[in-house]
Chains A and B, each alone.
Chain A
Amino acid sequence: MRYFKLLVFFLTAALLFSQEGLSDEEKALFKTNVIVPAPSEIIMALDMLSDVKWKEVVTYDKSTNYSDNYKIALNLGVRVAQGFIAIQAQDRKNTGEMFRICRDLAENFGAKSDMFVNEQQIIKLLDENNWTELRSILDDIHLKVKDEMYKYDPDFVELASVGGWMEGLHIVSKALKSNYSPDASVILYQPELIQYFSEAVKNIKTGNSNNPEVKEIAVMMPEIGRLTEVGSGNPIPSENVARLYEISSRINSLIVSQGKTDGGPADAGEDPQKWFFIYGAIAIIFVILFFTRRKKGGSNE
């Protein structure tokens, strides 16, 4: 019995030592720095776990005509994800198109032409079927554009990440829905990332979040979390996958639609409250001027 107690003591000590005595406070610190995976990571993992026909799964959206910056940021995320899928599908035409569209959208955030590999170089790589280099270039553009967007407004970086992740969810749930396998469905289990995006969307400034797209994402994130919270290593049921596809399709349609949406200010980077204060201040100045002049007029008489 004494040996058994000693064994239990040493095992407990070893377990504690292996965890380096991480306290709950310290464990919470890990969550202050969540690294968002590149869209290509989930695409490559799914490609490994399931026989996906990428060309049949993806629909490419080619519009670039958006006036609001929040919407351009969301669309940039979506198109970069579609670019990665075009590369995975080894689709020459759409890979070239997605490079062009990403460049056009990124220029709205001050991204300069020297950030992008020129069109001739892309065509050359497409002719050579150099998909690895093309993926590396797209990743490089993605990072550089995010740096530029951060200078503009950090919200836009979050929106581009959310847009890209949502498109990943859309494509992966579509692929799983048409060819469900419990083993491949585990790929949608990403609790900390969903928690991170839920918080990130909540923290976006009113000027960038008071629009149907971001509102819908904020409303649906808890349900996305519930549908995927099955525990580590467990498959996500096919009915949950179908619902995830439904949610992500609706959000994707809202993001890529070109119509002017209600609730978004003309320049999403600006706070509408700012104009309320400016007009208020002007009105007060006029009132003061009015009474001052009346008073002066009265004393002259």
Chain B
Amino acid sequence: MNRSEIRKPFLLFLTLAILVSSAFVFAQDDEEEWDENITNTEYLFVESKKEILADGYYTNGDMKTGYFDETPNVYATFTLYKGNSYAFVIGGANNLNNIRASFYGNNFVENFFNDEIDVSTYKVFYITPIHNGTYYLKVQSYGETEGDGEWMYYYGFKQNQ
């Protein structure tokens, strides 16, 4: 086989390699652009964490998440300490229905908040307990639309000033 016989397949292979790699890079760029616009619980966590950290709250990053189609009502029990202030971050991503977050204390007698949260966003609720004890959170998705939306919540705390 002489040089001219090798050159043709080599050039063909080189052209193919350039085309494939540029197509791959192009596809990757597209995916990154799409990722930047998506709202998921991880994105909500990062954004909300910046907000509460700026207010001096500390969080250990233990975010709880799940899907509304598996658990349309989310229940959680917390122990809050007098002497600390708390910031509760509650939100939903890719959810088609609004959610309602309710927070109770003193054996469900006190209602600290009971508020709606728009789709694909979060809200921060601030609480300074005057008593040590048990507090309860309910996150509820209400509406008839079915989807694969996610819920998330976590909290931060700081010493009272």
Contact = CB atoms under 8 A, between A and B. Distances in A.
Interface of A: 18-20, 22, 26-27, 29-35, 37-38, 40-42, 44-49, 132, 135-136, 139-140, 142-143, 186-193, 196, 232-233
B79 A49 contact: no
B138 A49 contact: no
Interface in B62-93: 62, 64, 73-79, 81-84
Nearest to B106: A232
Q: How large is the interface on B (under 10, 10 to 19, 20 to 34, 35 or more residues)?
A: 35 or more
B14 to A, nearest CB: 39
Given A33-B76, A232-B131, A45 B60 contact: no
B103 to A, nearest CB: 11
Contacts of A34: 76-77
Nearest to B81: A45
B75 A143 contact: no
Contacts of B10: none
B159 interface: yes
Interface of B: 58, 60-62, 64, 73-79, 81-84, 102, 104, 106-108, 111, 114, 130-134, 136-138, 157-160
Nearest to B155: A35
Contacts of B73: 29
A187 B133 contact: no
Given A19-B111, A35-B77, A143-B60, A186 B159 contact: no
A182 to B, nearest CB: 12
Given A38-B60, A44-B84, A18 B75 contact: no
Most chain A beta-carbon neighbours within 10 Å: one of B76, B79, B114, B159: B79
Contacts of B60: 38, 40, 136, 139-140, 142-143
A47 B60 CA distance: 19
A46 B134 contact: no
B75 A29 contact: yes
A73 B107 CA distance: 33
Given A18-B114, A48-B159, A143 B62 contact: yes
A197 B102 CA distance: 25
A85 B81 CA distance: 17
B58 A135 contact: yes
Contacts of B133: 189-191, 232-233
Nearest to B158: A44
B76 A30 contact: yes
Contacts of B160: 48
A251 to B, nearest CB: 20
Contact of B82 (A26, A142, A187): A187
B132 to A, nearest CB: 5
Nearest to B64: A35
Given A19-B108, A48-B83, A232 B75 contact: no
B152 to A, nearest CB: 14
16 contacts: A19-B104, A20-B102, A22-B104, A27-B108, A29-B75, A30-B77, A37-B79, A41-B81, A44-B157, A132-B58, A187-B132, A191-B133, A192-B134, A196-B77, A232-B131, A233-B133
B88 to A, nearest CB: 11
B79 A46 contact: no
Contacts of A233: 130-133
Contacts of B106: 232
B114 A192 contact: no
Contact of B111 (A18, A35, A38, A192): A18
Given A44-B159, A48-B160, A143-B62, A192 B79 contact: yes
Contacts of A29: 73, 75
Given A22-B108, A47-B159, A187 B77 contact: no
Q: Output the residue of A32, A45, A191, A193 with the most chain B CB within 10 A.
A: A45
